[in-house]
Structure 1
């Protein structure tokens, strides 16, 4: 089965696969990611492998999932993070999520990757709505989600913690671009 790679002005987004295990582990053990996604408890390599299995199952089941995000540099591709789509709570809603290495943070990479994925979600996958869930202490994640055109819905318990919930609909404007059918 073949999955779609995406690209933007400076990024290559490659569907996550087994060969990305060490990159994924490096990303998920970045101190900023540990703080914002893993309750300050770094994942083991087994935890990363289990999460990778979950991501791969999403691709097999739904035909979409997480992409590893690489910045194109003269010396080759450099790991920047991951971003993508997954079923929210195994339901009908599709969640957009992202995380970027601390060394890449603040350079617009999450927004650029997110914009590329959102365009794909609405224009190719024909989705009409996306949700996003962010921990209240994750200020960079909140800023990126808002820049991507998501609107705050509310704060609620999710996974045993308080989280901020956002939505973005087909037709919402991002910069000067609107996705409609």
Structure 2
């Protein structure tokens, strides 16, 4: 499976069971998970890793573990996941970063790399982001990578803002890539 190319400051890798301590700390952090229904337990974090490993096998993508290139420090996760929004499956770009690494541009950097990977490697035409209406920082990341607010939708029992964007704005480029 291809993973996104490293960025200036971040590297991507597949999640494995060996990453459980880092993922449990991330997904169990109330500040990181403030826009989710609740922080996750260690068992839920293990299922998160299993879910992503299944996505890698079945779709060739999922959420990837992020590390800082200069230190190797675990930073969070970012990637591409299929999401069913009101009966239609879309590929979503998603990102979660450790609290002390937020507001430093890492989420935008990682999301840019995943957007480019979706377009250039996976050949996708569109991405979405499903974002809590109160999560303005995540909305800004989506906007910075070219997604725009499209609508509000019911997702997992909650009203969420759906951001969407075409990955190929030039019709001639789309035709050339399909040939």
Residue number in structure 1 paired with 2:99: 102
Q: Is the 8 A contact 2:132 2:161 kept in 1?
A: yes
Q: What pairs with 1:69-84 in structure 2 (closer than 5 Å)?
A: 69-73=66-70, 76-84=71-79
TM-score by length of 2: 0.88
Residue number in structure 2 paired with 1:153: 150
1:137-164 per-position Cα deviation (integer Å, ceiling 9, x unaligned): 1121111111111010011211111100
Q: 1:89 aligns with which of 84, 89, 96?
A: 84
Q: How many residues align?
A: 171
Q: What pairs with 1:23-172 in structure 2 (closer than 5 Å)?
A: 23-37=22-36, 39=37, 41-73=38-70, 76-89=71-84, 92-172=89-169
Residue number in structure 1 paired with 2:16: 17
In structure 2, runs of 5+ residues without a counterpart are none
Q: Provide the rounded CA distance (Å) in 1 between the counterparts of 2:79 and 2:129.
A: 11
CA-atom RMSD, angstroms? 1.9
- Aligned to 1:33, the other structure's residue is in SS state coil
- Aligned to 2:122, the other structure's residue is in SS state coil
Q: Provide the rounded CA distance (Å) in 2 between the counterparts of 1:46 and 1:85.
A: 22
- Aligned to 1:8, the other structure's residue is in SS state coil
Q: Is the 8 A contact 2:4 2:114 kept in 1?
A: no
Runs ≥4 in structure 1, deviation > 6 angstroms? none
Q: Is the 8 A contact 1:149 1:172 kept in 2?
A: no
Q: Is the 8 A contact 1:5 1:15 kept in 2?
A: no
Change in CA separation of 1:172 and 1:24 when aligned onto 2, cut-off 3 Å: farther
Q: 25-34 vs 156-165, which deviates more? A: 25-34
Q: Provide the rounded CA distance (Å) in 2 between the counterparts of 1:67 and 1:16.
A: 6
Q: What pairs with 1:170-181 in structure 2 (closer than 5 Å)?
A: 170-172=167-169, 181=177
In structure 1, runs of 5+ residues without a counterpart are 174-178
